[in-house]
Protein backbone atom coordinates (compact mmCIF):
# COMPACT_ATOMS: atom_id res chain seq x y z
CA UNK A 1 0.00 0.00 0.00
CA UNK A 2 1.64 3.27 -1.16
CA UNK A 3 2.76 5.82 1.41
CA UNK A 4 2.35 9.44 0.28
CA UNK A 5 5.64 11.23 -0.39
CA UNK A 6 6.66 13.45 2.52
CA UNK A 7 9.15 15.54 0.53
CA UNK A 8 10.49 16.10 -2.99
CA UNK A 9 13.79 16.18 -4.86
CA UNK A 10 13.50 19.95 -5.18
CA UNK A 11 13.03 20.37 -1.44
CA UNK A 12 16.04 18.11 -0.79
CA UNK A 13 18.28 20.07 -3.18
CA UNK A 14 17.11 23.41 -1.75
CA UNK A 15 17.75 22.21 1.80
CA UNK A 16 21.13 20.93 0.68
CA UNK A 17 22.09 24.34 -0.71
CA UNK A 18 21.12 26.09 2.49
CA UNK A 19 23.02 23.64 4.65
CA UNK A 20 26.07 23.73 2.37
CA UNK A 21 26.35 27.51 2.65
CA UNK A 22 25.53 27.58 6.36
CA UNK A 23 27.72 24.69 7.54
CA UNK A 24 30.26 24.14 4.79
CA UNK A 25 30.85 20.99 2.77
CA UNK A 26 31.68 18.93 5.86
CA UNK A 27 28.39 19.97 7.43
CA UNK A 28 26.41 18.71 4.47
CA UNK A 29 25.62 15.29 5.89
CA UNK A 30 22.87 13.00 4.69
CA UNK A 31 21.37 12.90 8.18
CA UNK A 32 21.35 16.72 8.36
CA UNK A 33 19.68 17.12 4.95
CA UNK A 34 17.13 14.44 5.78
CA UNK A 35 16.24 16.15 9.05
CA UNK A 36 15.77 19.47 7.22
CA UNK A 37 13.10 17.94 4.97
CA UNK A 38 11.47 15.89 7.73
CA UNK A 39 12.63 12.37 6.87
CA UNK A 40 15.45 10.01 7.88
CA UNK A 41 18.72 9.62 6.03
CA UNK A 42 17.99 6.24 4.41
CA UNK A 43 14.91 7.71 2.70
CA UNK A 44 17.09 10.19 0.80
CA UNK A 45 18.35 7.27 -1.25
CA UNK A 46 14.88 7.00 -2.84
CA UNK A 47 15.58 10.31 -4.61
CA UNK A 48 19.38 10.61 -4.98
CA UNK A 49 21.90 7.91 -5.80
CA UNK A 50 24.37 8.98 -3.10
CA UNK A 51 25.90 12.09 -1.55
CA UNK A 52 27.96 12.90 -4.65
CA UNK A 53 24.75 12.87 -6.69
CA UNK A 54 23.10 15.29 -4.26
CA UNK A 55 26.15 17.54 -4.52
CA UNK A 56 25.93 17.44 -8.30
CA UNK A 57 22.28 18.49 -8.20
CA UNK A 58 23.12 21.35 -5.83
CA UNK A 59 25.90 22.58 -8.14
CA UNK A 60 23.62 22.36 -11.17
CA UNK A 61 20.91 24.41 -9.47
CA UNK A 62 23.41 27.10 -8.47
CA UNK A 63 25.09 26.93 -11.89
CA UNK A 64 21.78 27.57 -13.66
CA UNK A 65 21.26 30.69 -11.57
CA UNK A 66 24.79 31.89 -12.32
CA UNK A 67 24.40 31.31 -16.06
CA UNK A 68 21.13 33.28 -16.06
CA UNK A 69 22.74 36.19 -14.18
CA UNK A 70 25.64 36.27 -16.62
CA UNK A 71 23.30 36.31 -19.61
CA UNK A 72 21.47 39.23 -18.08
CA UNK A 73 24.66 41.13 -17.23
CA UNK A 74 26.27 41.24 -20.67
CA UNK A 75 23.77 43.44 -22.45
CA UNK A 76 25.40 46.86 -22.75
CA UNK A 77 26.41 46.38 -26.38
CA UNK A 78 29.93 47.54 -25.50
CA UNK A 79 32.28 44.53 -25.19
CA UNK A 80 34.54 46.21 -22.66
CA UNK A 81 31.64 47.22 -20.43
CA UNK A 82 30.14 43.76 -20.87
CA UNK A 83 33.41 42.25 -19.69
CA UNK A 84 33.39 44.39 -16.56
CA UNK A 85 29.74 43.50 -15.92
CA UNK A 86 30.45 39.78 -16.34
CA UNK A 87 33.39 39.89 -13.95
CA UNK A 88 31.34 41.73 -11.34
CA UNK A 89 28.42 39.34 -11.68
CA UNK A 90 30.77 36.40 -11.27
CA UNK A 91 32.30 37.92 -8.14
CA UNK A 92 28.93 38.78 -6.64
CA UNK A 93 27.73 35.21 -7.12
CA UNK A 94 30.88 33.83 -5.49
CA UNK A 95 30.58 36.12 -2.48
CA UNK A 96 26.94 35.16 -1.99
CA UNK A 97 27.57 31.43 -2.46
CA UNK A 98 31.17 30.92 -1.35
CA UNK A 99 30.91 27.25 -0.43
CA UNK A 100 29.02 26.38 -3.59
CA UNK A 101 31.45 28.42 -5.68
CA UNK A 102 34.46 26.63 -4.20
CA UNK A 103 32.96 23.24 -5.06
CA UNK A 104 32.08 24.31 -8.61
CA UNK A 105 35.76 24.82 -9.34
CA UNK A 106 37.13 22.07 -7.13
CA UNK A 107 39.01 19.02 -8.29
CA UNK A 108 36.52 16.21 -8.66
CA UNK A 109 37.77 14.64 -5.44
CA UNK A 110 34.29 15.32 -4.14
CA UNK A 111 33.08 13.30 -7.11
CA UNK A 112 30.49 15.87 -8.16
CA UNK A 113 30.76 17.48 -11.58
CA UNK A 114 28.46 20.19 -12.92
CA UNK A 115 26.46 19.62 -16.08
CA UNK A 116 28.75 20.53 -19.04
CA UNK A 117 25.84 22.28 -20.77
CA UNK A 118 25.69 24.73 -17.88
CA UNK A 119 29.41 25.42 -18.10
CA UNK A 120 28.95 26.15 -21.77
CA UNK A 121 25.96 28.43 -21.16
CA UNK A 122 27.92 30.32 -18.50
CA UNK A 123 30.84 30.78 -20.93
CA UNK A 124 28.81 31.98 -23.91
CA UNK A 125 28.52 35.67 -23.04
CA UNK A 126 32.20 35.89 -22.13
CA UNK A 127 33.22 34.25 -25.40
CA UNK A 128 31.13 36.80 -27.27
CA UNK A 129 32.80 39.76 -25.54
CA UNK A 130 36.24 38.14 -25.95
CA UNK A 131 35.69 37.68 -29.68
CA UNK A 132 34.90 41.37 -30.08
CA UNK A 133 37.90 42.50 -28.05
CA UNK A 134 40.57 40.02 -29.10
CA UNK A 135 39.39 38.99 -32.52
CA UNK A 136 37.70 35.71 -33.44
CA UNK A 137 40.94 33.69 -33.81
CA UNK A 138 42.12 34.52 -30.30
CA UNK A 139 38.73 34.44 -28.60
CA UNK A 140 39.24 31.12 -26.77
CA UNK A 141 42.64 32.05 -25.31
CA UNK A 142 41.37 35.53 -24.46
CA UNK A 143 38.26 34.21 -22.69
CA UNK A 144 40.38 31.70 -20.79
CA UNK A 145 42.80 34.38 -19.69
CA UNK A 146 40.00 36.55 -18.35
CA UNK A 147 38.12 33.76 -16.62
CA UNK A 148 41.36 32.41 -15.14
CA UNK A 149 42.14 35.84 -13.70
CA UNK A 150 38.60 36.33 -12.37
CA UNK A 151 38.42 32.87 -10.83
CA UNK A 152 41.90 33.19 -9.36
CA UNK A 153 41.17 36.59 -7.87
CA UNK A 154 37.85 35.47 -6.39
CA UNK A 155 39.11 32.20 -5.00
CA UNK A 156 42.08 33.92 -3.38
CA UNK A 157 39.75 36.55 -1.97
CA UNK A 158 37.43 33.87 -0.56
CA UNK A 159 40.38 31.94 0.85
CA UNK A 160 41.60 35.08 2.58
CA UNK A 161 44.85 34.98 0.60
CA UNK A 162 45.12 38.76 0.16
CA UNK A 163 47.01 39.49 3.33
CA UNK A 164 49.32 42.29 2.25
CA UNK A 165 46.65 44.92 2.73
CA UNK A 166 45.44 47.29 0.04
CA UNK A 167 41.93 47.84 -1.24
CA UNK A 168 40.60 44.56 -2.65
CA UNK A 169 37.72 46.20 -4.51
CA UNK A 170 40.13 48.57 -6.17
CA UNK A 171 42.47 45.70 -7.05
CA UNK A 172 39.54 43.95 -8.74
CA UNK A 173 38.68 47.07 -10.74
CA UNK A 174 42.35 47.54 -11.67
CA UNK A 175 42.60 43.89 -12.71
CA UNK A 176 39.56 43.76 -14.95
CA UNK A 177 40.65 46.99 -16.63
CA UNK A 178 44.15 45.61 -17.22
CA UNK A 179 42.77 42.30 -18.48
CA UNK A 180 40.44 43.99 -20.94
CA UNK A 181 43.39 45.93 -22.33
CA UNK A 182 45.59 42.85 -22.30
CA UNK A 183 43.38 40.82 -24.62
CA UNK A 184 42.70 43.73 -26.95
CA UNK A 185 44.41 44.10 -30.28
CA UNK A 186 47.05 41.90 -31.91
CA UNK A 187 48.86 39.34 -29.79
CA UNK A 188 52.35 40.18 -28.64
CA UNK A 189 53.20 36.48 -28.72
CA UNK A 190 55.86 35.30 -31.12
Partner DNA sequence: ACCTGAACACCGTTCAAGT
Q: Is 40 in the site for DNA (CB under 7 A)?
A: yes
CA nearest to 68, candidates 132, 20, 150, 124: 124
> What, of its own copies, DNA, none, does residue 152 touch, CB below 5 to 8 Å by kind?
its own copies
What is the distance between the alpha carbons of residues 128 and 118, in angstroms, rounded to a whole number?
Answer: 16
> What, of its own copies, DNA, none, does residue 179 touch, CB below 5 to 8 Å by kind?
its own copies
Q: Is 178 in the site for its own copies (CB under 8 A)?
A: yes
* Strand ranges inside 46-178, DSSP E: none
Query: How far, in Å, are 76, 91, 94, 165 from residue 162 at the CA level?
Result: 31, 15, 16, 7
Based on its alpha-carbon atoms, the radius of gyration of the chain, rounded to whole angstroms, reads: 20
Number of residues that bind its own copies (CB under 8 A): 51
DSSP letters for 70-107: HHHH--SS-HHHHHHHHHHHHHHHHHHSHHHHHHHTS-
| Positions in 82-121 near its own copies (CB under 8 A) | 98-99, 102, 105-109, 116, 119
Q: Is 78 in the site for its own copies (CB under 8 A)?
A: no
What's the sign of the alpha-carbon dihedral 86, 90, 92, 93? positive
Q: Is 42 in the site for DNA (CB under 7 A)?
A: yes
What is the distance between the alpha carbons of residues 44 and 38, in angstroms, rounded to a whole number?
Answer: 11
Q: Is 182 in the site for its own copies (CB under 8 A)?
A: yes
Identify which of residues 10 and 120 has a Cβ nearer to its own copies in the complex. Answer: 120
Shortest separation between residue 71's beta carbon and its own copies, angstroms: 18
Task: Note the residues at the interface with its own copies (CB under 8 A).
Answer: 24-26, 98-99, 102, 105-109, 116, 119, 123, 138, 140-141, 144-145, 147-153, 155-156, 158-166, 170-171, 173-175, 177-179, 181-183, 187-189
Contact residues toward DNA (CB under 7 A) are 1-7, 28-32, 34, 39-43, 45-47, 50-52
Amino acid sequence: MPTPARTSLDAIVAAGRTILEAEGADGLTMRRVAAAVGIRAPSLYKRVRDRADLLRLILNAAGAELAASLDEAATTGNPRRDLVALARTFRTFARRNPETYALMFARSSEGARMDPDLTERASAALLRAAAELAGPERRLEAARTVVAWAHGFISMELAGAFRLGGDVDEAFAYGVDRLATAIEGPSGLR
